[in-house]
Amino acid sequence: MRRRSPRRLLGVLAAVTVAFSLFSSASTAGAADTAPKAAPAPAASAAAALSTSTPVVFVHGYTGNASNWVTAKSVFQLNGWSSSKLFTYDYNSYGNNITNAQGLASFVNNVKSQTGASKVAIVNHSMGGLVSQYYLKVLGGNTSVSHLASIAGANHGTTFASACLIYVTCQQMYPGSSYISQITSGDETPGATRYATWYSACDGVILPYTSTKLDGATNNNVACQTHIGYLTDTLTLGAIARFVAS
């Protein structure tokens, strides 16, 4: 029987090793679809590309500002949006959320006028949920909004607001407030707008954490994410971008 040279045997072993490594990598990539830090996949279909022409308005939370959305904007751009279609709405965290919602209404109208779009998508975080819900439900803004994505929104209030009750916004954010009664009574997801929320037991600020969920929305339970951690969570932000593009 002809013996194989040591060099040839080493070559065969190397080829087998490479093949096994490639298989292992492919298996790991499949599992990473549900891993906490997987990279967001770009929305590449023709339908998604058409949807990325919809302007997106980001609405920050209590004490937040436009800088909260730096990562989100990058993720949306990776998913097909141009920077000219991404807007941030800043408001007074210590004023009145009714005034803040009225300001959001004016801001959306300006975005529609500037871009020529008939509707915008809204992505909010924390107390931005209260501002957005009041705009869509009480002020009739749902006719101007195609998608509403609420990230850890204080949609039914949070007992954490007891730490800042000297401000009217925190009074409105406390569970059972008249403000919350207005936005939660009856239909919580009015109009043809598509609604989705993202919430987590690890939130730590929205208490109870299920406060974010909206009846009639697609409510996504994130395995474990902190309240501020969402703002740099590219996996969740990627899912939100794909939801808005749907």
Annotated active-site residue in 132, 144, 203, 233: 203
Active site (annotated) includes residue 74: no
Residue 70 neighbours by CB distance under 10 Å: 12
Annotated active-site residue in 126, 132, 177, 211: 126
Q: Output the CA torsion sign for 192, 193, 199, 204.
A: negative
Cα gap 181→202, rounded to integer Å: 26
Contact status, residue 129 vs residue 212, Cβ threshold 8 Å: yes
Active site (annotated) includes residue 203: yes
Residue with tokens 């949807």: 51
Active site (annotated) includes residue 126: yes
Annotated active-site residue in 146, 177, 227, 233: 227
**Could you tell me where the DSSP H helices lie in 32-134?**
46-51, 70-78, 97-115, 128-133
Catalytic residue list: 126, 203, 227
